[in-house]
Amino acid sequence: MGRRKLVVGNWKMNGLKAQLGEVEDIGALAARHPAVEVGLCLPATLIAPAQGVKGAAFIGAQDCHMHGSGAHTGCLSAAMLAEAGAGWTIVGHSERRQDQGETDADVAAKALAAKAAGLKVILCVGESLDVRDAGHAESVVSAQLLASLPQGAAADWLAIAYEPIWAIGTGRIPTMEAVEAMHRALRAALATKIGAEADGMRILYGGSMNGDNAAELLAIGDVDGGLVGGASLTAAKFAPVIAAA
């Protein structure tokens, strides 16, 4: 299956307008690597300002509300993010599952809300270190994925990011064999729900991906790209990851 590599930066709660130069430089990098789909999921405050400088990179959000409007102080609907210029959004990042108590059902509802507003979606799943150490990572993450999967999941609007929680921001990554086994397991799990559509769905790896390990990770057959935190904050750090894809 020809799955175009997808490499997306997640800036989390980092970035002011002073960093738009990095967005511009990453947009220029994306233009030099047209075979790779490159994006930046920015803080919501930077989505509109980034429109003038994004170059060939798409701009995405990091979360959206599951409802279209209403009494939800401080929240942003998918339509608001789309209007600001987002083309994608992340849902179900482990930091939100932990910090905001988001459930699998919430994540599925957010993905559907994003789709309804015309956004494409990166849906995150991943295991804790306890689960990994207990030897249950593949079954637990597969179950999490199936419980978080929205109705009508399809490869043209949804990508999955496998992000072991213990690898995020820690500099630690699983063995290549463990990544390969997990991505194979997740694709098999997807196939039980969406059949052959699973062959086209991109499954990204995320968790301390950087210029030193990206080539090896991205060479794994079922790894279709990366969701990259710290190493996406500057063009200099992100460049080797994009080049490796």
Q: 199 vs 212, which CB is nearer to ligand PEP?
A: 212
**5 annotated to bind ligand:** no
Q: Candidates 207, 222, 225, 241: give the one binding ligand PEP (CB under 6 A).
A: 207
Element (H, E) at 129: helix 129-133
Q: Buried b vs exposed e over 124-159: b needs ≥16 C-beta within 10 Å?
A: bbbbeeebbeeeebbebbbebbbebbbeebebebbb
Nearest to 89 by CA among 45, 52, 121: 121
Q: 94 vs 142, which CB is nearer to ligand PEP?
A: 94
Catalytic-labelled residue, pool 65, 93, 95, 138: 93
> What torsion, rounded to 10 degrees, do the Cα atoms 202, 205, 210, 211 define?
-50
Does 227 engage in binding with ligand PEP (CB under 6 A)?
Answer: yes
Does 230 engage in binding with ligand PEP (CB under 6 A)?
Answer: yes
Element (H, E) at 111: helix 104-116
Does 209 engage in binding with ligand PEP (CB under 6 A)?
Answer: yes
Smallest separation, CB 202 to ligand PEP (Å):
15
Structure tokens at 160: 């999955």
Burial of 62 (0-12, 13-18, 19+ CB in 10 A): buried
Smallest separation, CB 70 to ligand PEP (Å):
28
Q: Residue 122's Cα: distance from chain center in Å?
A: 4
Q: Candidates 62, 208, 224, 241: give the one binding ligand PEP (CB under 6 A).
A: 208
Q: Catalytic: 83?
A: no
**230 annotated to bind ligand:** yes
Q: Candidates 228, 242, 244, 245: give the one binding ligand PEP (CB under 6 A).
A: 228
Q: Which residues bind ligand PEP (CB under 6 A)?
A: 10, 163, 168-169, 206-209, 227-231
